[in-house]
Structure 1
Amino acid sequence: MDIKTLYDADINNLTTAKNAYDTLFSAFGRHIENWQHEVVDRLGHSEWTGTAAGHAGTRIQSLGTELQAAKQELGLISKALSDAAEGIAAAQAHLISALDDARNNKMTVAPDGGITWNKDPDSADYAGDKAEATAKEISKRITTALSEADHTDRTISARLAKLATNATNGTGLDSATAKADQAAADALGQVPAAGTDPTSVKAWWNGLTDAQQQRMIQTEHDRLGALDGIPATARHQANLINLRRGKEDLQRQLDGLGPEPKKMLSVAETNGGPVENPDYTAWKKKREDLEEKMKGVKAIEARLKKDEPPAFLLGFDTKGHGHAIVAANNPDTADNVSTYVPGTGSRLAEMGTNMDRSDLMVASADEANGHRKTTSSVTWIGYDAPQSIFPEAADDTYAKNAESKLRGFQDGLRATHEGKPSNNTVLGHSYGTTVVGYTMRDKGLPVDNVVLVASPGAGVEHARDLGVAPSRVYAAQGDDDIIQNTPPEQAENWVSNFTNNVGHWAGSVDSPDHHLAFGRDPSVPQFGAVALPTSPGTDHSGYWEKGSRSLRAMGEAITGRPIS
């Protein structure tokens, strides 16, 4: 699609064709009604019997079915032409708007899309000192409009070609074919259910014109924003609406809390010592929850305003403790894609810290590959994480409940990625490694690399049990990380840990085996993972310190570079 073709496109021709098919559809419907009345009903009321009558009745019944199928196919052609007119008209409007803005800014757009302007400040036609930035923005809009038109053209052409083939070879007279075609057309207007295979979701999305996609984003943003298989840019647009509305709802709830109740009840009110007022306790808890979520919202808003690297909001809601998924750089176009799964305490309020870590990992990956390839790091708080070390973080139910969500998200990353498949990594921290390990053990993950940082156990005894080559499994544990003291779940592992430790202290065991809450410690040699170096004094949260050995090593692991 080029500028002239889109600019000169006569939408009236599409509308006229659509109206013609509507007329044909109506006329064909009347023909079927007349045929039913004049032929079928008359024969049905006749006294014709016998073998020939039976054969004729069967054929007439079959012919009636074929006529209804043909009518249904004609209606689908009309709908396709209507969608074409809407899609091309929207793209044409976007193009004309961009060209008008170019002209108003004293710029000339060439047929190939190149933009030129007068750069002489003394000239009456001088385009201004911000002309270059303006030209880039207009050029992007022109490219987008052409892409919209091309997508609509390809999408509608495919639909019409199928219907034309059906009409040519006679399959359009088959009721099953017509029913399937109608179901496919109807499905375009229905958002796939949550949990639908992401590849099918992507195919559905591709079948919509750009105008239909934009309408879906505006009307179905709450469902599209959480649907794996929707491309990152569209998912981002939907979640921007979800973010804005979520913020408005949080503010309404804060405003509706009312004045603070008195904190304590008096001796007279309780017939005993003063105690905290239950109304105050409930009010305070609600306010703190809302303020925490608002903190997360504002952190996301601040991150979205940063240009380098650009952020994409791939998930957002305020249910429970709140959830959010934010990618640094577009995962659909990046060469390397890493999903970072935080652990205990992860919730909407903690997005700021975790997004900072993703930004640091992108910078580390860029350094590792010499800025030759792009890296996207996705902060994934898409599950309900334990909020306390005990008893919640000692319970693997949170990990089990996250398995389908993490698997679906990873499948979605594969389904929406453009061009050559990316090098994908899943990186867990603390309880997040348990989520990663359990998911890989029970569901499998379509990733190339696994990084387990400060793990209390990944639910497996050996790296090979994760479903990828042990040489692509990496583990890090700092020398000052309290996670190494996590008690094992099974009693026999207490004895094993003690025996190995004693043997190590005695000098009879070089590398003591060690089990933690959810299986063997991934950082011990017996687990079989590649050890990631850490800086001296690294504690449970210190792996992302700027200049640290662990941060550098994570960048290397994410890009597939040798660990230095």
Structure 2
Amino acid sequence: MDYLTLRSLKPSEFEGAARGYRTLGDMASQAKDDIEQQVTAGMRKSLKGKAVDEAVRQLRQLSANFHYTQVECALITTALNSLAHELRAAKNRLDAAVEDAAAAKFTVHSDGSVSYPPAGDNVDGKVPEGGTVKCSASGEPTRNPIDPAGDANDTAEALQRQASNHHDNPNYGRALSIANRIAQAVHQATRADEKWAPELRKLKADDDLVVADEDWADAKRDVGGVRRSAKEYLDGIKAPPKDGSPEENAAWWKGLSKEEQDACVALDPAGLGKLDGLPAAVRDEANRTVLAETRAEINLKLDEFDKNRPEPEKYEQKWDNINQVPVQGEKQVTLAWKAWDRERSRIAEPLMGIKAIQRRFDRTGEDGLPEAYLLGFSPEGRGRAVIANGNPDDADHIAVYTPGTGASLSNSKGDINRGVNLWKTSHPLTDQEVSTITWIGYDAPPEVFPDATQDKYADGAVDAYGQFIDGLNAANKAGSDAHITAIAHSYGTTVIGAAAQEGRIGVDDIVFAGSPGARVDNAAELGVDKGHVWNEHARGDNSVSEAGRHFHGGGLPGIDPSDPIFGANQMATDTEGHSGYWDYDDGKHKPSLSLENQGWVIVGDYDNVKMKPREDGSLLPVDWREPSAWGL
């Protein structure tokens, strides 16, 4: 870039282009939402069959195309704004130098050199003559064209200053300083141009109509490239508070301009999607990008694995090792295939959870099911999956379901469906807005024994759970006035108890189902108002009492919430075993009584909750929320 180019440059034109790409990205986002929330949802609501399934599959691909367009447009927008920011800094520097030259009645030439008039004390009867100077970007006097390489060193700059101070014409030093500033401005603009030109060229998709895994992988690389190049621009954007509370996160987000918010979403979707207190729509957008990139990354790893590790023979002749003879008609799986399958399954494992989340996205509109919001996602470790049915920011009643032992990203299908059933049950019970959330936001015990007899999993979940609940309050339109119900199953009830012990509960009602123990001896210790702790223990749920004995034997404190002395409201159940509390008859659109009772608690209509009859079969007490009415 030369002097004249920078002089005529208008950074606002790049910002205008950025606004155009942002508009295009917004249009793509709106098209994506329309497909998912209206077109696909409408089809799911009124039509069924294979033809509908195929149409939904194609619409899903179209939605993915719009999503990819949205992500790439956001990156281009940020790149152009960053380029404009750097060019404006250089342009302002140049304009200031030119203005100073004009004020001193110097002349700036088309090559960036500066002419100065005669001035100073007479020398041999003459006023020192004027002249013309050029400078490199680092200030070294030269008769060569402006040197954008900027390779002058500090010694040359020192010599320049010394020469300026001893020159007979005082204008020489001023002109040299102005020429130096001009050269530095041109150099600064040249560096910005050279840096951003290749980055912008990378921000393009394949010339086809299918967004493939390679495209999403490329998008993730683009994010890294733009983030590195945009460091100067991003340094001007206030970073989120370090280890901030949800309230601090919410305040930070509200304090950003729309342009700054877009840059944060584009360049750090993984970090932004984790921030409790931010709007659900923002977290959903960020986490869906991370999900798409993760799915693509895993698929590409599987392709590479299959390419380099062909599947070995699965079966071989089974042998009688004692008699060293083949067993006629029987085969066994080869050790080579087992090792191959084990390694491949390790890579593919997160895809099970990703497919479960995508299935929930696709169900929007089915039986009136609202849009899903992905409030948390990570494939790391056992994985994270936090998914809401309906926007919790707009909800009057929010239920957060915490699963127990075995919960993980790859095993999330059933837990996601339980959140769906909670919404389908509670939504018709009120004319207010309801949102139900499946919270797989902690490392649950992998196995019942010995893992579920240890308290480390519950203790490790406390801060994450508390932050999440506080985030719901911070982002909700009604703030802390929103009615929040914590629903927990099995070891999840231990998580709730641990959170209550640390003062991190933040909810209005607590519902336990199949609890082996909640780490407390009385409902009054759970941090909610009297009468707002509820418990369900289904017939045949023997695993609860058995696990409870192991819990207490293992040193985990707490009385079984099914014990009358605990003081919880004992709700009636009509389901069997440890996992039936969320049974829903889709054919009849009817929840089980176990599930319906949870629904009444979610909407705060406690008088409709069916209570568990006393052992003598007598009628329920009038004031069943008073422990004294139960003879306690």
Whichever of the two has the greater Rg, that structure is: 2
Where do residues 66-81 of structure 1 align in structure 2 (5 Å cutoff)?
Answer: none
Q: How many angstroms does 1:198 deviate by?
A: 0.9
Q: Does 1:391 align with 2:450?
A: yes
CA distance in 1, matches of 2:526, 2:377: 29
Residue 190 (structure 1) aligned to one of 228, 236, 239: 239
Note closer, same or farther for the CA distance 1:442–1:264 as it changes in structure 2 (3 Å cut).
farther
CA distance in 2, matches of 1:90, 1:419: 35
Q: How many angstroms does 1:480 deviate by?
A: 1.0
Residue 513 (structure 2) aligned to one of 453, 468, 475: 453
CA distance in 2, matches of 1:96, 1:545: 40
Where do residues 422-433 of structure 1 align in structure 2 (5 Å cutoff)?
Answer: 422-433=482-493
CA distance in 2, matches of 1:320, 1:447: 28
Q: How many angstroms does 1:524 deviate by?
A: 1.7
Name the amino acid aligned to 1:313: L
CA distance in 2, matches of 1:458, 1:87: 57
Greater helix fraction, Structure 1 or Structure 2: 1
Aligned positions, number = 377
Where do residues 139-158 of structure 1 align in structure 2 (5 Å cutoff)?
Answer: none
Note closer, same or farther for the CA distance 1:423–1:187 as it changes in structure 2 (3 Å cut).
farther
CA distance in 2, matches of 1:382, 1:541: 20
1:364-418 Cα offsets, whole Å, 9 max, x none, are 112332xx11111111111111121111112121111111111111111111111
Q: Does 1:226 align with 2:274?
A: yes
CA distance in 2, matches of 1:382, 1:358: 14
Q: Does 1:484 align with 2:561?
A: no
Which position in structure 1 is the counterpart of 2:391? 330
Name the amino acid aligned to 1:338: A
TM-score normalised according to structure 1 size: 0.60
Q: Does 1:403 align with 2:403?
A: no
Name the amino acid aligned to 2:421: L
Residue 366 (structure 1) aligned to one of 388, 410, 427: 427
- Contact 1:368/1:552, CA 8 A, preserved across alignment: no
Q: Does 1:545 align with 2:606?
A: no
Q: Does 1:259 align with 2:310?
A: yes
Note closer, same or farther for the CA distance 1:97–1:255 as it changes in structure 2 (3 Å cut).
closer
CA distance in 1, matches of 2:17, 2:260: 7
Where do residues 369-380 of structure 1 align in structure 2 (5 Å cutoff)?
Answer: 369=430, 372-380=431-439
- Contact 1:448/1:472, CA 8 A, preserved across alignment: yes
Q: Percent identity?
A: 34
Q: How many angstroms does 1:473 deviate by?
A: 0.7
Q: Does 1:413 align with 2:472?
A: yes
Q: How many angstroms does 1:200 deviate by?
A: 0.6
Which position in structure 1 is the counterpart of 2:413? 352
Q: How many angstroms does 1:466 deviate by?
A: 0.8
CA distance in 1, matches of 2:454, 2:339: 27
* Structure 2 unaligned residues grouped into runs of 5+: 1-6, 32-233, 327-331, 585-590, 611-632
Name the amino acid aligned to 1:398: Y
Q: How many angstroms does 1:321 deviate by?
A: 2.2
1:324-373 Cα offsets, whole Å, 9 max, x none, are 1100000111000111101111111222221211111112112332xx11
CA distance in 2, matches of 1:90, 1:198: 33
- Contact 1:477/1:534, CA 8 A, preserved across alignment: yes
- Contact 2:531/2:569, CA 8 A, preserved across alignment: yes
- Contact 1:87/1:211, CA 8 A, preserved across alignment: no
> Matched residue of 1:359: which SS?
helix
Which position in structure 2 is the counterpart of 1:556? 600
CA distance in 1, matches of 2:578, 2:599: 19
Q: Does 1:236 align with 2:284?
A: yes
- Contact 1:188/1:204, CA 8 A, preserved across alignment: no
CA distance in 2, matches of 1:350, 1:95: 34
Note closer, same or farther for the CA distance 1:186–1:519 as it changes in structure 2 (3 Å cut).
same
- Contact 2:463/2:504, CA 8 A, preserved across alignment: no
CA distance in 2, matches of 1:280, 1:92: 50
CA distance in 1, matches of 2:550, 2:537: 22
Q: Does 1:216 align with 2:277?
A: no
Note closer, same or farther for the CA distance 1:92–1:297 as it changes in structure 2 (3 Å cut).
closer
Name the amino acid aligned to 2:404: G
TM-score normalised according to structure 2 size: 0.54
CA distance in 2, matches of 1:252, 1:88: 32
Q: How many angstroms does 1:262 deviate by?
A: 5.7
Q: How many angstroms does 1:260 deviate by?
A: 3.0
